[in-house]
């Protein structure tokens, strides 16, 4: 039998460094008897993937099945990302390719959804004439009407940003689902005007979803056999909802209208069932509270992993980024996480290298912060100026590209060393793993994640996905734990 280190070369190993890339997911095949086929490519973040599930649900009621074969599609949607220039370039190249399909099939309808739709609607529709339909993140309920407009020979667009839309009443179609893990959107938009970020302009103002609908969705997922939900938002820590403020009938708690914050919501979802794991993303360092950390410590089924983007290790750069915290504040929050949740709590991050006017000494501050925190995982990028942001309007993108790339490579090397050190420290430990499925290269091996979000691969031993098993870690690579099931 092949040993584990040989086997791992054939697996989809989770790297410890999320470098400049754009994750893409394609709609799977569904067959409920509908004659029209919808093909969706989703780019970028988990919020986009979650939104595509809402789109699929809306259009299923209009007679569309999803397909993974673009040649079979009657309707093609690209759900896009504008967070970095490379993501937009990827979509533009893809649209040029898709126009070749359209020439062969004139009835084919092509649309762009999401953040890029909001930012470049005029360019895509009128100047480059790449698409028939453009819909922003808050306009998906309007898709049936927009499709009818295109069928009538018109160009169709709706990029209106809502202050109320949360799609709380729509049950998503679970695309690319493994039947074990699922995303649950708890809020939309963002009020943090980070100077480098387009999200407030493409996704609108922050608004939180009714907590009772969130709990109901989590319960329904558990009843369907799912065993893990990830609560999604641009900034989950700032979740805040009350019946009174959200213009509905009041909840009375000791005569006072109850405001539900993120710590309350975490507890509500954790109580759905002890076997339902809870994850969340993304947290903002300035907003994560001790109450959230104590709630995580109280419930075993709330995973001990926090994605806490730092962006830079230097306080002057953080101020230019309008992040709302200093290096010292961030490190205090990390210390509090370790104090309340223990050293085994996973911490991951985002970092932007080569931001406007960043000096070599300030770059070194990011490297030194990494040495203090020792992240388990990080997404790392060099700065890409986005039109319309505060940085584009007020700051100069003055760091040469070769310097950005050199600094990024230094950050990546540092992160890989820390991740390898962290994984080696786990050898000999036993982790409770939720099995998410078989490895892609061997049905004799299973893979799943620990509470602190590390991927483990181990022999199947007649276990099945959706089960929890205890796994003794015997070996590791830079990005994956290898082990065996124990009692």
pLDDT digits (tens, 9 = 90+) for 59-104: 999 999 999 999 999 999 999 888 778 878 888 889 988 888 888 8
Task: Give CA–CA dist 309/36, Å, rounded.
Answer: 42
Query: pLDDT tens-digit profile of 113-136?
Result: 998 887 888 787 776 678 999 999
**Alpha carbon of 332 to those of 289, 339, 418: distances in Å?**
12, 10, 20
Share of the chain above pLDDT 90, in %: 72
Q: What are the residues facing 187 on neighbouring strands?
A: 208
Task: Give CA–CA dist 283/129, Å, rounded.
Answer: 38
Residue 81 contacts residue 43 (beta carbons within 8 Å): yes
pLDDT averaged over every residue in the chain:
89
| 445-449 and 430-438 beta bridge pairing | antiparallel
Mean per-residue pLDDT, 279-301:
97
Mean per-residue pLDDT, 217-241:
96
Task: Give CA–CA dist 328/371, Å, rounded.
Answer: 14
Mean per-residue pLDDT, 258-279:
97
Angle between helices 327-341 and 290-298 (to 10 degrees): 20
Let me know how long the chain is. Answer: 487
Query: pLDDT higher for 7 or 55?
Result: 55
Query: pLDDT tens-digit profile of 339-391?
Result: 999 999 999 999 999 999 999 999 999 999 999 999 999 999 999 999 889 99
Residue 21's SS3 state is coil
pLDDT of 127 reads: 62
- Positive or negative, the Cα torsion across 337, 332, 318, 161? positive
**Which of 1-5, 15-19, 132-136 shows the lowest mean pLDDT across its residues?**
1-5
Query: pLDDT tens-digit profile of 160-206?
Result: 999 999 999 999 999 888 999 999 999 999 999 999 999 998 899 99
129-143, 249-263, 401-415 — most confident range: 401-415
Residue 246: band (very low, low, confident or very high) from pLDDT cuts 50, 70, 90: low
Residue 143: band (very low, low, confident or very high) from pLDDT cuts 50, 70, 90: very high
Task: Give CA–CA dist 383/401, Å, rounded.
Answer: 9
pLDDT value at 438 more than 60: yes
Number of Cβ atoms within 10 Å of the Cβ of 208: 25
Query: pLDDT higher for 81 or 221?
Result: 221
Sorted by where each starts, the structural domains of the chain and their CATH numbers stand as: 4-12+427-486 (2.40.50.140), 28-158 (3.40.50.2300)
The pTM (predicted TM-score) of the whole model is 0.89
Q: What is the CA radius of gyration of the chain?
A: 23
Give me the torsion for CA of 287, 433, 454, 429, rounded to 10°. Answer: 110
Task: Give CA–CA dist 144/296, Å, rounded.
Answer: 41
pLDDT of 258 reads: 81
Strands (E), 44-142: 64-66, 75-80, 109-114, 133-135
Distant-in-sequence, close-in-space partners of 456: CB < 8 Å, separation ≥ 6: 431, 433, 447, 448, 449, 450, 471, 473, 480, 481, 482, 483
Residue 228 contacts residue 207 (beta carbons within 8 Å): no
Closest by CA position to 447, among listed 395, 485, 409: 485
Closest by CA position to 311, among listed 196, 221, 416, 211: 196
pLDDT value at 253 more than 60: no
pLDDT of 365 reads: 98
pLDDT value at 19 more than 70: no
Task: Give CA–CA dist 244/254, Å, rounded.
Answer: 15
pLDDT of 90 reads: 86
pLDDT of 369 reads: 98
Mean per-residue pLDDT, 283-300:
97
pLDDT of 32 reads: 66
**Which of 104-113, 229-238, 467-476 shows the lowest mean pLDDT across its residues?**
104-113
pLDDT of 81 reads: 85
pLDDT value at 251 more than 90: no
Task: Give CA–CA dist 446/207, Å, rounded.
Answer: 39
């Amino acid at each position: 039998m092949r040993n584990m280190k040989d086997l791992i070369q054939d697996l989809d190993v989770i790297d410890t460094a999320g470098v400049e890339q754009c994750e893409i997911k394609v709609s799977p095949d569904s067959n409920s008897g509908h004659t029209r086929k919808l093909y969706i490519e989703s780019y970028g973040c988990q919020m986009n993937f979650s939104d595509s599930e809402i789109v699929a649900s809306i259009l299923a009621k209009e007679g569309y099945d999803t397909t993974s074969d673009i040649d079979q599609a009657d309707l093609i949607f690209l759900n896009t990302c504008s967070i970095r220039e490379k993501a937009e370039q990827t979509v533009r190249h893809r649209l040029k390719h898709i126009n070749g399909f359209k020439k062969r099939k004139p009835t084919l309808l092509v649309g762009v959804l999401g953040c890029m739709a909001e930012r470049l609607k005029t360019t895509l529709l009128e100047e480059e004439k790449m698409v028939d339909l453009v819909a922003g993140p808050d306009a998906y309920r309007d898709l049936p009407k927009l499709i009818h407009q295109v069928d009538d020979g018109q160009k169709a667009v709706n990029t209106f940003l809502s202050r109320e839309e949360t799609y709380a009443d729509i049950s998503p179609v679970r695309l690319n689902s493994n039947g074990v893990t699922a995303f649950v959107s708890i809020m939309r938009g963002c009020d943090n005007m980070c100077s480098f970020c387009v999200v407030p302009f493409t996704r609108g103002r922050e608004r939180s979803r009714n907590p009772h609908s969130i709990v109901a969705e989590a319960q329904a997922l558990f009843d369907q056999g799912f065993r893990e939900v990830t609560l999604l938002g641009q900034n989950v820590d700032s979740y805040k909802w009350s019946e009174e403020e959200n213009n509905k009938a009041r909840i009375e708690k000791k005569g006072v209208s109850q405001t539900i914050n993120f710590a309350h919501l975490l507890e509500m979802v954790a109580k759905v069932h002890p076997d339902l794991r809870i994850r969340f993303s993304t947290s903002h360092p300035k907003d994560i509270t001790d109450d959230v950390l104590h709630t995580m410590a109280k419930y075993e089924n709330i995973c001990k992993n926090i994605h806490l983007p730092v962006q830079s290790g230097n306080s002057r750069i953080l101020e230019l980024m309008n992040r709302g915290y200093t290096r010292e504040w961030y490190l205090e929050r990390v210390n509090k996480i370790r104090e309340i949740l223990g050293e085994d709590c996973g911490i991951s991050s985002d970092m932007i290298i080569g931001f406007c006017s960043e000096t070599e000494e300030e770059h070194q501050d990011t490297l030194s912060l990494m040495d203090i925190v020792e992240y388990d995982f990080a997404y790392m990028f060099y700065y890409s100026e986005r039109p319309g942001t505060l940085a584009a309007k007020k700051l100069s993108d003055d760091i040469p590209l070769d310097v950005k790339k050199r600094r990024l490579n230094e950050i990546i090397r540092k992160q890989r060393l820390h991740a390898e050190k962290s994984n080696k420290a786990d050898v000999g430990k036993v982790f409770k793993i939720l099995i998410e499925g078989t490895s892609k290269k061997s049905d004799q091996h299973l893979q799943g994640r620990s509470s602190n979000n590390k991927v483990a691969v181990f022999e199947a031993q007649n276990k099945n996905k959706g089960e929890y098993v205890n796994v003794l870690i015997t070996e590791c690579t830079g990005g994956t734990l290898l082990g065996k099931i124990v009692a």
